[in-house]
Amino acid sequence: MDDEEWEDVPPETTDFAMVASLIADEQAAQFLNEGAQAPEDQNPFNHIDAEAVFKQALEEVEAIEYIPSGLGMLQEEWDKDGYPEIEVISGRKRGKQDLTIVLPDFIWRPRAIRWCQALTVLYQTIDVVMDTE
C-alpha cells in the first residue's frame, strides 16, 4: 500500500478494525502466496487397517490437545524470546540473498503443533504395525 492510501486514515481514528484491515491487505502478499509444489502422494501404511488406526489415534491426540515433546512446540523448548516469529532461509548455496520469512504465531504455531502431533502418531502407528507383523 502506498503512502497516499495511508493518508486517508485520520491520525485520531479509533476504528481499529479499519486499520487492522488496511494492514492485513498490505501484508496479504506475504502470507497468501502460492504454495510450493508438493511431492507425489505416498501412503506410508503398508497394512490395511493402519491408516484407520492412525486417523483415530490422531483425532484422540488432538481432542486432548497433547503436544509432543522434543519437536520445539513446548514453551520450555523455546529460547528466551519465545516461539520464533521469523525464519531466515539461506540462499548462499544458490548464490541468492537470504530470504526472511515472517511466521505469525497465530497462523503457524497451531499448524506446527498439528504436524508434530501427526508425526508422533505416525511413528507410533508404524511401530505398532511393524511389531505385529
Look at 83 and 3; give whichever has higher pLDDT. 83
Task: Report the distance separating Cα 129 and Cα 120, nearest Å.
Answer: 14
Q: Report the pLDDT averaged over residues 23-48.
A: 72
pLDDT of residue 32: 56
pLDDT tens-digit readout, 78-131: 888 777 788 888 877 666 788 888 878 888 889 999 999 999 999 888 887 766
Cβ(32)–Cβ(26) below 8 Å? no
Where on the phi/psi map is residue 54: left (φ > 0), alpha (ψ -120 to 50), or beta?
alpha
Say what the pTM is: 0.58
Which residues, 6+ apart, have CB-to-CB distance to 105 below 8 Å?
Answer: 83, 85
Which residues, 6+ apart, have CB-to-CB distance to 45 below 8 Å?
Answer: 51, 54, 125, 126, 129
